[in-house]
Amino acid sequence: MTAAGWVTMIIALVVVWGGVIWCFRKVLETPQEEKAPPGFGA
C-alpha cells in the first residue's frame, strides 16, 4: 500500500472511531429521564 493509502486509511479510522466514541459519550452523559429523539434505539 502506498503512503497516501495508509494516510487515507488512518484518517478514515480516526474519523469513524472518533464519531463512535463521541456519540457513545454523548449518550452516557445524557440523563436517562430525557426523552430519546425519534428513531433512537428501540
Dump pLDDT digits (tens) for 1-38: 899 999 999 999 999 999 999 988 888 887 665 566 66
- Of 42 and 16, more confident: 16
C-alpha cell read off for 41: 434505539
C-alpha cell read off for 36: 430519546
C-alpha cell read off for 20: 463512535
Q: Is residue 39's pLDDT more than 90?
A: no
Q: Cα(4)–Cα(31) distance, rounded to whole angstroms?
A: 42
